[in-house]
Structure formats: C-alpha cells, structure tokens
Amino acid sequence: MLDLLKEMFSYPFMVRAIFVGTIVALCSSLLGVSLVLKRYSMIGDGLSHVGFGALALATALNMSPLTVSIPIVVLAAFLLLRISESSKIKGDAAIALISTGALAVGVMIISMTTGMNTDVCNYLFGSILSMSQSDVNLSVILSVVVLLLFVLFYNRIFAVTFDESFAKATGTNAELYNMLIALLTALIIVLGMRMMGALLITSLIVFPALTSMRLCKRFKTVIVNSAIISVICLWIGLTISYVYATPTGASIVLCNIIVFFLYWLIKTVKGVIIHDK
Amino acid sequence: MNLITCKNISFTYDGFPAVKDLNFSVEQGDYLCVVGENGAGKSTLIKGLLRLKKPSSGTISIENGLMANEIGYLPQQTIVQKDFPASVYEVVLSGCLNRLGIKPFYTKKEKTLVEENLLRMDIIDLRDRCYRELSGGQQQRVLLARALCSTQKLILLDEPAAGLDPMVTQELYELIRKINQDMEITVIMVSHDIHSAVQYAKHILHLYHTQLFFGTTADYKNSEIGRRFMGGGFRA
C-alpha cells in the first residue's frame, strides 16, 4: 500500500492530478449542496456539455483550452440561470436543448478537424494525464477565490438556498447571489472537466450533496460531510484509475455510487430501528 | 399614522390583469386580513407590497423609514423546503440576515435575538431538530420566528394556516394575535379562512380581481358582501 502511494507520488502528472482533483472535488461539493437544493443540478450538466463544445473549439483553433472555455461556460451559466428562473419558458427542456446542442456542435467540430480519436474519449470520460502545470496554477487561484467567497457569503448562500422569496422580500439581493453561485459553478466545471470528463463532471456536484443529505440534519454538517465524501472518493477513484488504467471520471463516480448506497442503507436501517421502537 | 397607502394600484400576472383598482391603507399596529377566493389576486398583492412585483399602475406609498430590511414575511411553503436539511436554529438565524449590512457573519446580538424569538414561539426545545422532520404547525412556528427576526414593524403572512389541522390553526392565530398586540407589530395576512379573519383582524380587504370591500371588521360583518361570504355562499 505504502509502496503504491510512493510510486504514485513519484510521477509529476499524478501529483498534479491529485492536487487539482482535490481542489475541484472540495469546491464542487460545497457548491453542490446549494445547487441540488435549489433544483439547479441540471445547470451543472448543461454547463459541462457546453464546456465540451468549447474544448472542441479550442482544439480546432489550436488555442489553450482554458482561455476559450472559461468565458464561454461562464456566459452559458448566466444564460442557463436566466432560463431556469423564467417561468415562461420550460426551464428543464431549454437546458436539455442547450446541452445537447453544444455537444452536437462539439462533435461536429471534432469530426471535421482532428477526427474521432482517443482525445475525444478523454474529453468525454476524463483522463488522469490531462493536468498541466498551468492548470495547477490556475486551480490554486480559483480554489482560493471559491473557498473565500463561499465562506464569506455562507450565511447569504444559506438564506437564498432555503427561501429565495423571503430573502428577496427582506432586502437581500438574491439575484446577485444566484449569479455568484452560477459563476463559481462554471469555473469549477471548466477546471474539473478534462480530468473528470464532460459527461461525468456533474456527478462531483450531485453525488456528495445527495449522499450527505441522507443522514445529515444541519446545513453546516451537510456541507462539511459532502466535502469529506467528495475528497475521499476522489482519492480512491484516482488510485483505482492509476492501478487499473481505468478512465478517471468513471472510477471516481463509481466510488461515489458505493458511498451513496452505504449512506442510504444506514438511513434505511436506522429508520427501521426507530420504527420498531 | 399610515404605514402603507395604496392608491389605484393594479397588478398583472404573466401579462393578464390579476387585480386592479385597489385603494386601501394600513396603519401602524393594524391587523389587516386580505380575503377572497383562490386566484383572486391575494398573493399577487402581497408580492406587490413586498416590492417583489411592480404595480402596473397606481402608487404604493410606504412611510419613510420602513425599509425592506424591516419587513418580516411568512411565504407559502415551497417544495424545496419540504426536504431541506437544516436545523431550526439555522433557519431562524437566517431571518437576521437583513441586520448584517455588509458584515459576513452573525454576532452575539443576532444570536440573542434568535433565542428570544424561539422562546416567544415556544419552540426552544426544537432548536437542534431538523426542519424537514417537524410537523406542519411546528414548521410554521419556525418560519414565524424567522420572520420576527427580520422585523420590528410589519409582518406579512401568506396563507399561514394552509394545510394545518383546526387545533394547530387556532394556536397559530393566537400567536399572530400576540405578535400584533404584545409586540405591536403591524400584521397583514392573506387568508381564505373568513371566519378566523373576522375573529382576529381589525380591518378586512376583500378581493376578487378588484376591491369588493375595505373597512373595519365590524362594518364587514354587517355588509352584504360580508354576510354572503361568511354564510353559505362560500365557494371554495
């Protein structure tokens, strides 16, 4: 076991993957609780598909992936937020429209330029090798920004998540905090997308939050718990991915599924015991 | 002294007129009940008074000094809240948000206020319980405590008794009466429970897409519309 860890950490790409992965897992789980409770999980999914399109565009233009995808995904985040808040358009259908549309555009760009190859597979399902030194630098800055904003605005995020109309009525600028949540989500998705894969990055947002909601009864413990679950699952998943050469994203999601069922089982057993008393 | 004065206000909802030509005023310490059938525009009016919705015409003048951060609000419950993992304490504390200004965290002052309001609503033993595991009546008390944290002057309640059984409803109305009498907070309540409305309120505003009646409760009881609405003529 120790030898395995030593070996893993001897490769710079693994150190980078673990470092960036931990940050992405931490930040996405914090935001995830709010997104899941606000019924915004589909926005995360839509964003990752838009991110895939942006990534394909960047490759075709031979530009740095992050410089192209960050502005596109941030813009898409604001757009999706507007759509889901508007009661006149069917929000969920509009999100499906945008996400499948972006995916199709991405696939078209790829097939007309580089053609379908392993790179595409990596974009879709994640690769452990994808993190560069500039990603590491960016993720340090981003994680500091996300964590700082989250802690500073924690009380406001709670209020807006629990009851937006009360928050608005009593003088809180709910739209501003919704936009803040959307912005942070967009950044985290772009950062984690190449490692987790465009199709699987949403799982980092949804799974830890839903898992800890099985058992936790306070908002603060839900958040702390999902951060811990998220980071531990990422570590285990990365190790599996390294040892068995499996796609990174899928390995991490598998860990999350197992933990989810564990929590669900504990809750059910607890429920039965309480019921019997 | 009038706290709120509405002159000829109208609201549209998704492009359709919801209510029009409302003229009424609310005094400091008043207890106004807005009654009417479902879809009569009651909730739209409350949103307008909270400045969440702009009137399509007319003016709402609110006495100087009554800022959004001095209003308490008890909204109708949303689906999001039904399975929300938060403790009672966390929910009530979130009512203090409008006192923070630009400070990021709550101080001792806000925490003391939460304790006071938990005591007032008689839910101090529930403070560490999970909100989603409470009964409907307990949840309403929690939301009432939260609303009290955010106001000293005015509280707006949107169908507070919806879905509660009669006993619990009575207790809730008693609490609201206490808030109005003992704490001298102005109450504006939307309800379609006309019998409790005339029992507790000082003024009645009866809506059906427009203003059918505005005046004191005693006048309402003697008016034709009041008698019709309270008697067998109630169409739910």
Encode pLDDT of B115-124 as tens digits.
999 998 889 9
Helix (H, G, I), strand (E, B) or coil at B22: strand
Vertex A218 angle, CA A216 and A219, to 5°: 105
Chain centroid offset of residue A56 CA: 19
Residue A88 is predicted with a pLDDT of 59
B87 to chain A, closest Cα gap in Å: 5
Provide, as residue numbers in chain A, all residues whose Cβ is less than 8 Å from the Cβ of B86.
158, 162, 218-219
Quick one: pLDDT band at residue B234, thresholds 50, 70, 90? very low
Helix (H, G, I), strand (E, B) or coil at A247: coil
Residue B236 is predicted with a pLDDT of 41
Q: Phi and psi (nearest 5°) for B222?
A: -90, -10
Which residue in this structure is represented by tokens 């950044």?
A187
Tell me: pLDDT of B79 over 80: no
| Mean pLDDT, rounded, of chain A | 87
Residue B215 is predicted with a pLDDT of 85
Residue A60 lies in a domain: yes
Quick one: pLDDT band at residue A90, thresholds 50, 70, 90? low
Residues 23 through 62 of chain B touching chain A, CB cutoff 8 Å: 50-52
Residue B64 is predicted with a pLDDT of 65
Look up the domain containing A42 and give its range. 2-201
- Closest to B98 (Cβ–Cβ): which among A153, A158, A171? A171
C-alpha to C-alpha distance for A25 and A17, rounded to whole angstroms: 11
Encode pLDDT of A238-251 as tens digits.
999 889 988 888 89
Strands B2-13 and B16-27, how do they pair?
Answer: antiparallel
Decide if B230 touches A, using CB distance below 8 A: no
Quick one: pLDDT band at residue A29, thresholds 50, 70, 90? very high
Quick one: pLDDT band at residue A212, thresholds 50, 70, 90? very high
A30 to chain B, closest Cα gap in Å: 14
C-alpha to C-alpha distance for B214 and B55, rounded to whole angstroms: 19
What is the total residue count of chain B?
236
Strands B16-27 and B211-216, how do they pair?
Answer: unpaired
Which residue in this structure is represented by tokens 């939050």?
A209
Cβ proximity of A272 and A55 under 8 Å: no
Encode pLDDT of B89-115 as tens digits.
999 999 998 888 888 899 999 999 999
Encode pLDDT of A142-182 as tens digits.
888 888 999 999 999 999 999 888 888 888 888 899 898 88
- Closest to B75 (Cβ–Cβ): which among A161, A165, A216? A165
- pLDDT, average across residues A17-24: 88
Tell me: pLDDT of B233 over 50: no
- pLDDT, average across residues B144-168: 88
Encode pLDDT of B43-67 as tens digits.
888 888 888 888 888 888 877 666 6
Decide if A152 touches B, using CB distance below 8 A: yes
Decide if B77 touches A, using CB distance below 8 A: no
- Closest to B130 (Cβ–Cβ): which among A156, A168, A217? A217
Whether this model's ipTM surpasses 0.90 comes out as no
C-alpha to C-alpha distance for B201 and B34, rounded to whole angstroms: 10
Residue A216 lies in a domain: no
Q: Could you tell me which residues are beta bridge partners of residue B12?
A: B17
Of B217, B98, B104, whose CA–CA distance to B148 is shortest?
B98
Of A26, A185, A164, whose CA–CA distance to B78 is shortest?
A164
Q: How many CB pairs under 8 A join A and B?
A: 92
Q: Kind and range of the H or E element at B58?
A: strand B57-62
What is the total residue count of chain A?
277
Residue A241 lies in a domain: no
- Closest to A166 (Cβ–Cβ): which among B73, B104, B105? B73
Residues 6+ apart with CB under 8 A from A97: none
A155 contacts B104? CB cut-off 8 A? yes
Quick one: pLDDT band at residue A261, thresholds 50, 70, 90? very high
Residue A154 lies in a domain: yes
Q: Kind and range of the H or E element at B26?
A: strand B16-27
Cβ proximity of A194 and A201 under 8 Å: no
- pLDDT, average across residues A60-87: 84
- pLDDT, average across residues A45-55: 90
CATH of the domain at A8: 1.10.3470.10
C-alpha to C-alpha distance for A151 and A179, rounded to whole angstroms: 16
Q: Give chain A's domain count.
A: 1
Residue A131 lies in a domain: yes
Decide if B153 touches A, using CB distance below 8 A: no
Alpha-carbon separation of residue B113 from A209, A234, B175, B179 (angstroms) = 31, 42, 18, 15
Residue B235 is predicted with a pLDDT of 44
Residue A121 is predicted with a pLDDT of 77
Alpha-carbon separation of residue A98 from A50, A73, A102, A105, A203 (angstroms) = 8, 12, 6, 10, 19
Of A202, A195, A194, whose CA–CA distance to A55 is shortest?
A194
Residue A141 lies in a domain: yes
A220 contacts B97? CB cut-off 8 A? no
List the structure tokens of B113.
């206020």
Decide if B134 touches A, using CB distance below 8 A: no
C-alpha to C-alpha distance for B46 and B158, rounded to whole angstroms: 7
Provide, as residue numbers in chain A, all residues whose Cβ is less than 8 Å from the Cβ of B67.
171
Q: Kind and range of the H or E element at B2?
A: strand B2-13
CA-based nearest residue in chain B for residue A154: B104
B106 contacts A39? CB cut-off 8 A? no
Residue A257 lies in a domain: no
List the structure tokens of A209.
């939050």
Q: Could you tell me which residues are beta bridge partners of residue B189?
A: B33, B157
Of A38, A177, A158, A30, whose CA–CA distance to B93 is shortest?
A158
With a pLDDT cut of 70, the percent of chain A lying above it is 96
Structure letter (DSSP) for residue B209: S
Residue B151 is predicted with a pLDDT of 86
Number of other CB atoms surrounding residue A180 within 10 Å: 18
List the structure tokens of B41.
């525009």
Residues 6+ apart with CB under 8 A from A40: A34, A81, A84, A181
Residue A120 lies in a domain: yes
